[in-house]
Amino acid sequence: MTITLSEIELSLVRLDLVHSFETSSHRKTYLEHIVVRATAEDGTVGWGECASPSDPYYCGESTWSCWQVLGRYLAPMLIGRPWNHPEEAARHTAKVSDNHFARAGLDMACWDLYGRRRGEPLADLLGATATAVPAGVSLGIEPTVDALLAQVARHVEDGYRRVKLKIRPGWDVEPVRAVQSAFPHVALQVDANTAYHPDRGDLPAALDGRGLLMVEQPYAPSDLLGHAALAARFETPVCLDESVTTPDVLRTALALGAADVVNVKVSRLGGLGPSLAVHDLCRDAGVPVWCGGMHEFGIGRAANLALAGLPGFTLPSDVSGSDKYYRQDVVAPAIRAVDGMVAVPRGGAGIGVEVDTARLARHTRRTWTVRPAPARAAAPAVEDCRV
C-alpha cells in the first residue's frame, strides 16, 4: 500500500492543567503541544502529537524548535514522497539529526494514517497483546509533604496501581518516608530528572533499601558510567529515561550495566519504530521496560497506550486517564482509568480514538499548513498566525 502525503497541518494547542506540575527543573500550569494532521492524496487523515516541553530543560528541544523543525524541514521533506510503511516515511526525513520530539509528532501521524488505511488499530500493528494496562501516576513536587500526601491519597483512592514521585536535592528522603509510612502498600518509585551528580550532590544513600521499585535518571543524560556505578552500588534498580535517546545508546548502556530498567518514551526516541527497537533490545537482554509519558493529550496518550500493551512492558507505565491532567481533552472517547486499569484503545483503526476537531479548534493558538512546493519557484511554506 503506497501512501503519499499532500498536506501536513501543524496546530499549536494549549490545554490548562487541572493541577500544576513541578519537576526538578520547572513548574507548569498549562501545556502547549503541537498537533500534526497529515492528509494523504486519497483524503485519509492521520493524527500525531508533538509533546515537547515548552523549554529546553528536559532535553534540547522546545515547543518552538519543534514548530520550526517540523514546518521547515520534516514536513516539506516527507510531503509528496511515497512510502509503504511508517518506518519508510521516517527514513525520508533521516537527514534531520536529533530533534526527536519533533520527529515523533510526524511519525505518529504516519502510523495513525497507515492504520486507518489498512483498517487496523495501531495496537495490533505494533504487536500489543494486552487489552488494558495498569495505571501509574507521576506526581510532581508539591509545596509541602502534606500537600503531596493529599495527592497520593487522591490517586490511591482512585485505584492507581503505582505512584511515581518527582524528587530533587532537598525533596527526596523525607517525602519518600512520609508516603511509605502513610501508604505502606503503595508501589512507589522516584524520578530525579537528572538533578543529582555523583561528585557534588549525590543521591542520598538513605533512599536505598526502602523497597522502591526504581530510581529514575538521577544523573545527567550522558553520564552512563555514573549510572553504571550507582547500579552496582544500589540495591534499588536504576532506570534510565533522558539518557536513552536511541537504540544504539541503549546498547551501550546495557553493555555498561547502566540500566536495570528502561523507560520507553515515544517522544524522546523520535517515534514508534525506535520505541519498538528499544522494547525488543530490552526483552532480549532481560531488562524490564515501562512506558513513560510527557503529559500527552489524548492523541499521544492513545499511541502510548498502544505501545504499553506490548508484552515486554512488565512494569506499570506512566499512563493515567487524561482527566488527571486536563479538564477537557481533544479526543473521544475520553481516556480514563477504571479500577486502576486503562484500556488499550482499539475502538477504531489507527490510534483508536477520534479527534474532536471543534474542540481542537477552540484550543488552537496558531496553525501552519505545509503543502508540496510548486514545481518551479521554491515557495516557502506558509505560516498562518491566528493570534
The contact set with ligand OSB (CB under 6 A) reads 23, 53, 58, 138, 191, 193, 241, 292-295, 318, 320
Return the number of the residue (152 or 239) whose C-beta is nearest Mg ion: 239
Strands 27-40 and 261-264 come out as unpaired
**Nearest distance, CB of residue 265 and Mg ion, angstroms:** 8
Peptide bond just before 143 cis, omega within 30 deg = no
Residue whose C-beta lies closest to ligand OSB: 293
From residue 207 to residue 246, what is the string marking binding to Mg ion with x (rule CB under 5 A)?
A: ---------x------------------------x-----
Task: Bin 381: left if φ > 0, else alpha if -120 < ψ < 50, else beta.
Answer: beta
Q: Nearer Cβ to ligand OSB, position 46 or 293?
A: 293
329 binds Mg ion (CB under 5 A): no
Overall size of the chain counted in residues: 387
Binding partner of residue 318 among Mg ion, ligand OSB, none, CB cut-off 5 to 8 Å per kind: ligand OSB
At its nearest, how many Å lie between Mg ion and the CB of residue 288? 16
- d(CA 217, CA 241) in angstroms, rounded, equals 6
CB 108, min distance to Mg ion, A: 20
Sheet holding 215-216, edge to edge: 136-139, 162-166, 187-191, 215-216, 238-240, 261-264, 289-291
Burial track 102-131 (b if 16+ CB lie within 10 A, e otherwise): bbbbbbbbbbbbbbbbeeebbbbbbebebe
* Distance from C-alpha of 100 to C-alpha of 96, rounded to nearest angstrom: 10
**Hey, is 332 helix, strand or coil?**
strand
Q: How far is the CB of 166 from ligand OSB (least distance, A)?
A: 7
Task: Tell me if residue 164 is catalytic.
Answer: no
Which residue of the set 95, 164, 166, 324 is catalytic?
A: 166
Residue 109, C-alpha cell as written in the block? 501521524
Footprint (CB under 5 A) of Mg ion, residues 157-196: 191
Query: Please, which residue, 93 or 245, has the CB nearer to ligand OSB?
Result: 245
Largest CA distance in the chain: 70
Asked if 28 is an active-site residue, the reply is no
Q: Which does 295 bind (CB under 5 to 8 A by kind): Mg ion, ligand OSB, none?
A: ligand OSB
Instruction: List active site positions.
Output: 166, 265
Query: Under the rule (CB under 5 A), what is the footprint of Mg ion?
Result: 191, 216, 241
